[in-house]
Amino acid sequence: MIFGRSERGKAPVEPVTLKILVAGGFGVGKTTLVGAVSEIKPLRTEELLSEAGRPLDNTRGVEAKHTTTVAMDFGRITLREDLVLYLFGTPGQDRFWFLWDELATGALGAVVLADTRRLEDCFAAVDYFERRSIPFVVGVNCFDGSARHPADAVRQALDLDPGTPVLMCDAREKETVKEVLIGVVEHAMALGARRRQPATT
Amino acid sequence: MSPDGEGTQETETHHWFDDDAGPVVRPYAMTRGRTTSAAQHRLDLIALVVAEHRSGDPGADQTLSPEHVDIVGLCRASPQSVAELAAELDLPIGVVRVLIGDLVDEELVHVTRPVPPAELPDESILRDVINGLRAL
C-alpha cells in the first residue's frame, strides 16, 4: 500500500490533450511559431533534409533556408496539470500531404501562417481546412521588412469566408503567437456553437 | 560553400548515410515487419501512453525489445504522447505505434484516448484553453 499518493487519488493525472495545427508554405516560420510558445524545444518525429532545426529561422528570404520539415515539428504547452495543448507544424511541401489527414484528425483548429510576399504558398492550406470544415485563422507573419498589408487585403487575396479571422503576428514573439492561438480557439468555439444550433436550411 | 548550398557538395565524397540519418537498421525490423498491431485502434499522435503500476521491471522481460523497455521507462516518469515517444526514441511514428500496441497487449501500459475526432471538445475545456493561453 502506498500512502503518499492518497491526496490526489491513486493514479497520476492523465491530462486531456488537444492539438492545433500550424500550416503554411515552405519557410514561412511554422517551426518558429511553435517554438515561440512551446515549453519544449520543438521536437521532430521524422527526420529532415539536412541539419537539425534551430529555434529561429532566418526569415530574410526563403533562399536562405537550407532545411525544411519533411515530417512534423511539434511543441507542447501544459496549460494545466490536466490540460495539455500540442502544436503541430504541418509539412511545408506538397509531397508530404499524406501526413496532413493524420494530423488534422481530431484537431481543435489550425493556424495558416501566411507571408504576404508569397501569399499563394498558403492557398493549398486554406483550401484544405475549408474543405474539411476545420476551424482556422490566418496569421500574417509580419517579417521585418516585409510589406504590411491590411487584413482586408489579405482576406480578399485569399478569398476567405467572411467569418475567418485574419490576425497579424510575428512568429518569433510569444505574445502575438498567443493571440493567434487564442483566436483559433475562440473561432472554434464560435463555429461549434453555430453547429450546435438546429440547421436552418 | 556557395550561398545556395549546392555546388561544392557534389565534388565532396559523401557516405550515403551520416549520423543524421539515424541508425542503419530498417525501422520495421524492430517490429519484426509488422506495420500495424492487431486489435489496436489507430493511436492518435496526442494519445497519451501511461505506464501501468504493475509494469515492474520491463528490462527483465526477455520478450521485450530494448525499444519496448525504453517506452515503458519514459512513460513511467510521466505520461507521454505518441508523438513525444517517437521523437524521443527517434523512431518513425508507425514503428512506435506497433511497439505501443505490443505493450498494451502485455498490459504494461494503457493509452488514453484524446477527444474523439469530429467532436469538438467541451466548451468549458475550450474556455480553459483560452484562459490557460492568456496566463502564459
Write out pLDDT tens, residues B111-126. 987 666 556 678 899 9
Chain B nearest C-alpha distance from A185 (Å): 7
pLDDT range class, residue B95, cuts 50, 70, 90: confident
pLDDT over 50 (residue A50): no
pLDDT at A46: 63
Cβ–Cβ under 8 Å, residues B94 and B111: no
Asked if the structure places residue B76 within a domain, the reply is yes
Taking contacts as CB-CB distances below 8 angstroms, the residues of chain B near A84 are 81
Query: Mean pLDDT across the stretch A136-163?
Result: 87
Asked if the structure places residue B4 within a domain, the reply is no
Cβ–Cβ under 8 Å, residues A179 and A169: yes
Please judge whether B136 and A174 are an interchain contact, meaning their C-beta atoms are less than 8 angstroms apart: yes
pLDDT at B39: 46
Please judge whether A108 and B4 are an interchain contact, meaning their C-beta atoms are less than 8 angstroms apart: no
Q: What percent of chain A has pLDDT over 90?
A: 47
ipTM exceeds 0.90: no
Q: What is the four-CA torsion angle of B96, B98, B100, B103, rounded to 10 degrees?
A: -140
Say how many Å lie between the first and final Cα of chain B, rounded.
Answer: 42
Tell me which of B71 and A145 has the higher pLDDT. B71
pLDDT at B22: 58
Identify which of A149, A91, A88 has the alpha carbon closest to the alpha carbon of residue A115: A149
Identify which of A195, A179, A148 has the alpha carbon closest to the alpha carbon of residue A33: A179
Cell numbers standing for residue A199: 440547421
* CB contact A82 to B (< 8 Å): no
pLDDT at B115: 62
Cβ–Cβ under 8 Å, residues B103 and A158: no
Average pLDDT, chain A: 80
* CB contact B89 to A (< 8 Å): no
Please judge whether B133 and A88 are an interchain contact, meaning their C-beta atoms are less than 8 angstroms apart: no
Structural domains in chain B (count)? 1
Q: Which residue do the cell numbers 498490459 mark?
A: B107
Task: For residue B44, give the H/E element and its range.
Answer: none
Tell me which of A29 and B30 has the higher pLDDT. A29
pLDDT range class, residue B38, cuts 50, 70, 90: low
Distances (CA, A) of B49 to A81, A106, B29, B103: 16, 17, 22, 10
The DSSP code sequence of A91-134 is PSSGGGTHHHHHHHTT--EEEEEE-GGGGGGGHHHHHHHHHTT-
Tell me which of A70 and B56 has the higher pLDDT. B56
Chain A nearest C-alpha distance from B12 (Å): 16
Taking contacts as CB-CB distances below 8 angstroms, the residues of chain B near A8 are none
Taking contacts as CB-CB distances below 8 angstroms, the residues of chain A near B3 are 63
Please judge whether A193 and B123 are an interchain contact, meaning their C-beta atoms are less than 8 angstroms apart: yes
Minimal Cβ distance to B50: which of A14, A44, A174: A14
The residue segments making up the domain with residue B123 are: 18-131
Please judge whether A108 and B45 are an interchain contact, meaning their C-beta atoms are less than 8 angstroms apart: no
Taking contacts as CB-CB distances below 8 angstroms, the residues of chain B near A178 are 133-134, 136
Asked if the structure places residue B84 within a domain, the reply is yes
Task: For residue B10, give the H/E element and its range.
Answer: helix B8-11
Summarised one tens digit per residue, pLDDT across range B66-92 is 999 999 999 998 999 999 999 999 888
Summarised one tens digit per residue, pLDDT across range A18-42 is 999 999 988 889 999 999 999 998 8
Q: What distance in Å separates the CA atoms of residue B126 and residue B121, rounded to the nearest whole number?
A: 7
Q: What percent of chain B has pLDDT over 70?
A: 71
pLDDT over 60 (residue A119): yes
Chain A nearest C-alpha distance from B61 (Å): 24
What stretches of B39-108 adopt beta strand conformation (E)? Answer: 48-51, 80-81
Minimal Cβ distance to A80: which of B81, B112, B132: B132
Summarised one tens digit per residue, pLDDT across range B102-113 is 999 999 999 987
Proportion of chain A in helix, strand, coil states, percent, rounded to 5: 35, 20, 45
Is domain A16-196 in CATH 3.40.50.300, yes or no? yes
Tell me which of A174 and A93 has the higher pLDDT. A174
List the beta bridge partners of residue A114: A140
pTM: 0.79
Summarised one tens digit per residue, pLDDT across range A55-113 is 444 444 554 555 444 567 899 999 999 999 999 998 766 666 667 787 888 899 999 99
pLDDT over 60 (residue A6): no
Identify which of B107, B110, B86 has the alpha carbon closest to the alpha carbon of residue B96: B86
